[in-house]
A and B are shown apart, each in its own frame.
Chain A
Amino acid sequence: MSSVATLPLPAGAGARPRSAASLLPWVVLAVLAAFPLIAPAFGLEYYIGFVRRLLIVMIAATSLNFILGYGGMVALGHAGFVGVGAYTVVAMVEAGVGSAWAAWGMAIVISAVFAAAIGAVSLRARGVYFLMITLAFAQMLYYLAVSLRTYGGDDGYGIYTPLSLGGLDGLHADIFYWVVLALAALVFAFSSRVAVSRFGHALMGIRDNETRMAAMGYPVYRIKLVAFTGAGAVAGLAGALLASHNNFVSPSLMHWTESATLLVMVAIGGMGKRWGGPLGVAIWLTLAEVLKLYTEYWHWPIGLMLILVVFFAPKGVATLFERKEKTQ
């Protein structure tokens, strides 16, 4: 054997010294946490709500990135779970529940149940077939919501008494922002952690070589199903938060273009990169917001960007940062 070790055994990756890059999440978190306190001084109050929405969509995108980037499951029905979460909140409100925690908790449980059932059927299919079957289920949910008269159908459902955050109510006008930030940070940290856990490694192994994983004794289907269910549950949380953010829920949340948009955001940001979801969401939503200010023809620049990303940054914008991290 001619090849000689070019690298020494990498010392346990955990022993790596803390670099500037590993501080980045904390810096971002600190800036975001301080934002509502600083914003009024610059007349940027509106952007508190904007960032709040960004954070909520980031939760949904992070959950999709988990199955798409780490699990290799190209699902085109993720907005369906966002919708299930949002409509669970509607159902709870309709039933007289006033606590946000109870409603959100229930949203997580119900969307996990939906994701488990849909995943159990869909995960038997592969590739484009998987993509289409997840789309089919999301479309069923969409048409169901459109014709559900009790919850407003196509007109949507307004939540006129905002849900209560229990003891946190009244602490500060922007308390909901920090709650969302905390949850988003939690989801981000959790998914980053899972990615380096046994489960994450197994999931990535399945993404890279499913047959080999089965031949090595991994319960491939069960691992995928657990990941799919977890991602559905987190997407449901995002939906529940979106319901509270807008105090309004409509089936348009579940339209297939919303699923496609989530997919696009993750791809732009970087699949399988922990910053992929957040970056993609920030780029996409900010661009749409800004472009709409200036022109009614705001779709084509986004389309062009999409094509350019596919050609020139095929692994997403997050990889550009990664290179920087390495050179530092």
Chain B
Amino acid sequence: MDAIFIFEQLLNGLGYGLMLFLLAAGLTLVFGIMDTMNLAHGSLYMAGAYIAAKVHESSGSFLGAVLVAIVATILIAALIEWLVVRRLYSRDHLAQVLATFGVILIADDLVKAIWGPSPIMAPTPAALTGPVQLLAELPYPAYRLVLLGVGLAVALGLYLLVNHTRMGMLVRAGASNRSMAEFMGVRVGRVFSFVFALGAALAALAGALMGPIGAVQIGMGEAILIPALVVIVIGGIGSVRGAFVAALLVGLVDTAGRAFLPPMLRAVLPPSLAADLGPALAGIAMYVLMAAVLTLKPAGLFPARA
């Protein structure tokens, strides 16, 4: 296990973490500001992936496909917000979980009816199919580098938006104390609409970007929803900074668990036991991390609400 290998795995962990961050950022914003648990975020992610894949295939332009996916997903989100989520703002989390779980069930059947039950093709943009030689010994997938870049750019953009703009100030005010913000004359309704659209755009971006390296299929939203929820809970619900740190933490722990745990166990345990235990432990590393964090800090690493 040489230095380059370890470096590469760190990069992989970072990459996976940033992928999770793209999805978790929208989720945590919506949750933090609107106090609304929107499980349908996973469905928006799926919508983004499907639309981007289909547009990319027919138009040949990946960038165009991503943009179309974002716009279309915002429209879908607006519809969902108008029909369902809007009525849930004043309800408890359980009601929100139940109703948006209902949205997931409907969305999955709808996608099946439109695009069929089989996974669909989501090609990698032609210019990014191969690897880039990062170091002499380290080729790295070009597309993953783009993902890393987009993830960091989104993180930076959100940081600037939340901390250095008027909208961000309103958003933070809404997140830390809704009634106080309303009292001070913040038009919370408009902030909500903005945040919901932003969340949908981030979900669509995540879905569109994941398509070329993953299966675009029904249920893809639920599969990644759980790690994304783990991320926002570890980070402290509502905290974008927390989501960023937690996403990188989960990405690194998950990747390190898979890359280093099995060989380490093989070194210290009998081979048959190590072969059974290693992958099993690597598989639950993320959950162990969350349980450990919540045991020490029951409201996550960066609690957004006092």
Q: Indicate yes or no for A touching B, C-beta below 8 A.
A: yes
Q: Give me the interface of A with B, judged by CB distance under 8 Å.
A: 74, 121, 124-129, 131-133, 135-137, 139-140, 143-144, 147, 149, 256-257, 260, 263-264, 267, 271, 297, 299-300, 302-307, 309-311, 314
Query: Which of B95, B101, B102 makes the CB contact (< 8 A) with A314?
Result: B95
B241 to chain A, nearest CB (A): 18
A13 to chain B, nearest CB (A): 28
Q: Decide if B254 is an interface residue (CB 8 Å cutoff).
A: no
User: Given the complex of chains A and B, what is the CA–CA distance between A121 and B298 in angstroms?
Assistant: 10
Given contacts A267-B94, A302-B105, A306-B105, contact A133 B290 (CB under 8 A): yes
Q: 11 new A-B pairs (CB below 8 Å) besides A297-B113, A307-B99?
A: A127-B93, A136-B230, A136-B288, A137-B291, A139-B226, A299-B106, A302-B102, A303-B102, A307-B84, A310-B98, A314-B95
Across the interface, which residues of A come within 8 angstroms of B110, CB to CB?
300
User: Do A126 and B298 touch across chains, with their CB atoms under 8 A apart?
Assistant: yes
User: Given the complex of chains A and B, what is the CA–CA distance between A251 and B95 in angstroms?
Assistant: 28
User: Do B287 and A300 touch across chains, with their CB atoms under 8 A apart?
Assistant: no
A214 to chain B, nearest CB (A): 16
B window 34-93: CB within 8 A of A: 37, 84, 87-88, 91, 93
Q: Decide if B167 is an interface residue (CB 8 Å cutoff).
A: no
Q: Decide if B252 is an interface residue (CB 8 Å cutoff).
A: no
User: Given the complex of chains A and B, what is the CA–CA distance between A310 and B113 in angstroms?
Assistant: 26
User: Do B103 and A307 touch across chains, with their CB atoms under 8 A apart?
Assistant: yes
CB<8 Å pairs between A and B, sample of 19: A74-B94, A121-B291, A128-B31, A129-B233, A129-B237, A136-B291, A137-B287, A139-B284, A140-B291, A143-B284, A147-B276, A297-B112, A299-B109, A303-B105, A304-B106, A306-B98, A306-B99, A306-B102, A309-B98
User: Do B280 and A132 touch across chains, with their CB atoms under 8 A apart?
Assistant: no
B292 to chain A, nearest CB (A): 10
User: Given the complex of chains A and B, what is the CA–CA distance between A253 and B280 in angstroms?
Assistant: 18
Across the interface, which residues of A come within 8 angstroms of B118, CB to CB?
none
Across the interface, which residues of A come within 8 angstroms of B104, CB to CB?
303
Q: Decide if B300 is an interface residue (CB 8 Å cutoff).
A: yes
* Chain B interface residue number, banded: 35 or more
Query: Which of B101, B109, B283, B294 makes the CB contact (< 8 A) with A297?
Result: B109
B68 to chain A, nearest CB (A): 26
Question: By CB atoms of chain A within 10 A, which of B112, B291, B299 has the most?
Answer: B291
Given contacts A149-B276, A299-B106, contact A140 B98 (CB under 8 A): no
Across the interface, which residues of B come within 8 angstroms of A129, CB to CB?
233, 237, 294, 298-300
User: Do A311 and B87 touch across chains, with their CB atoms under 8 A apart?
Assistant: yes
Q: Whose C-beta in chain B lies nearest to the C-beta of A126?
A: B298
Across the interface, which residues of B come within 8 angstroms of A310, CB to CB?
88, 91, 95, 98-99, 102
User: Do B288 and A140 touch across chains, with their CB atoms under 8 A apart?
Assistant: yes
Across the interface, which residues of A come within 8 angstroms of B229, CB to CB?
132, 135
B262 to chain A, nearest CB (A): 13
A292 to chain B, nearest CB (A): 13
3 shortest A-B CB distances, which residue pairs? Answer: A303-B105, A306-B102, A303-B102
User: Given the complex of chains A and B, what is the CA–CA distance between A309 and B287 in angstroms?
Assistant: 32
Across the interface, which residues of A come within 8 angstroms of B233, CB to CB?
128-129, 132-133
User: Do A140 and B287 touch across chains, with their CB atoms under 8 A apart?
Assistant: yes
User: Given the complex of chains A and B, what is the CA–CA distance between A225 and B105 in angstroms?
Assistant: 33
Q: Decide if B279 is an interface residue (CB 8 Å cutoff).
A: yes
B264 to chain A, nearest CB (A): 18
User: Do B109 and A300 touch across chains, with their CB atoms under 8 A apart?
Assistant: yes
B111 to chain A, nearest CB (A): 11
Q: Whose C-beta in chain B lies nearest to the C-beta of A300?
A: B109
Across the interface, which residues of B come within 8 angstroms of A131, CB to CB?
93, 97
Across the interface, which residues of B come within 8 angstroms of A74, CB to CB?
93-94
B102 to chain A, nearest CB (A): 3
Across the interface, which residues of B come within 8 angstroms of A306, CB to CB?
98-99, 101-102, 105
User: Do B237 and A128 touch across chains, with their CB atoms under 8 A apart?
Assistant: yes
User: Do B102 and A304 touch across chains, with their CB atoms under 8 A apart?
Assistant: yes
User: Do A147 and B300 touch across chains, with their CB atoms under 8 A apart?
Assistant: no
User: Given the complex of chains A and B, what is the CA–CA distance between A3 and B305 in angstroms?
Assistant: 39
Across the interface, which residues of B come within 8 angstroms of A135, CB to CB?
226, 229
Given contacts A74-B94, A300-B109, contact A307 B102 (CB under 8 A): yes
Query: Which of B113, B222, B283, B295 makes the CB contact (< 8 A) with A121?
Result: B295
User: Given the complex of chains A and B, what is the CA–CA distance between A140 and B300 in angstroms?
Assistant: 20
Q: Whose C-beta in chain A lies nearest to the C-beta of B31?
A: A128
User: Given the complex of chains A and B, what is the CA–CA distance between A48 and B95 in angstroms?
Assistant: 34
User: Do B37 and A300 touch across chains, with their CB atoms under 8 A apart?
Assistant: no
Question: By CB atoms of chain B within 10 A, which of A267, A297, A303, A305 has the most?
Answer: A303
User: Given the complex of chains A and B, what is the CA–CA distance between A213 and B163 in angstroms?
Assistant: 39
User: Given the complex of chains A and B, what is the CA–CA distance between A133 and B229 in angstroms?
Assistant: 11
B232 to chain A, nearest CB (A): 9
User: Given the complex of chains A and B, what is the CA–CA distance between A136 and B87 in angstroms?
Assistant: 29
Q: Whose C-beta in chain B lies nearest to the C-beta of A132?
A: B233
User: Given the complex of chains A and B, what is the CA–CA distance between A124 and B298 in angstroms?
Assistant: 7
Q: Whose C-beta in chain A lies nearest to the C-beta of B229?
A: A132
User: Do A303 and B287 touch across chains, with their CB atoms under 8 A apart?
Assistant: no
User: Given the complex of chains A and B, what is the CA–CA distance between A74 and B97 in angstroms?
Assistant: 11
User: Given the complex of chains A and B, what is the CA–CA distance between A135 and B226 in angstroms?
Assistant: 9
B99 to chain A, nearest CB (A): 4
User: Do B294 and A125 touch across chains, with their CB atoms under 8 A apart?
Assistant: yes
Query: Which of A136, A257, A309 makes the CB contact (< 8 A) with B290?
Result: A136
Q: Whose C-beta in chain B lies nearest to the C-beta of A124?
A: B298
Given contacts A143-B284, A306-B98, contact A300 B291 (CB under 8 A): no
B243 to chain A, nearest CB (A): 14
User: Given the complex of chains A and B, what is the CA–CA distance between A24 and B106 in angstroms?
Assistant: 36
Given contacts A74-B94, A297-B109, A310-B95, contact A264 B101 (CB under 8 A): yes
User: Given the complex of chains A and B, what is the CA–CA distance between A124 and B283 in angstroms?
Assistant: 25
User: Given the complex of chains A and B, what is the CA–CA distance between A128 and B229 in angstroms?
Assistant: 10
Q: Whose C-beta in chain B lies nearest to the C-beta of A264?
A: B98
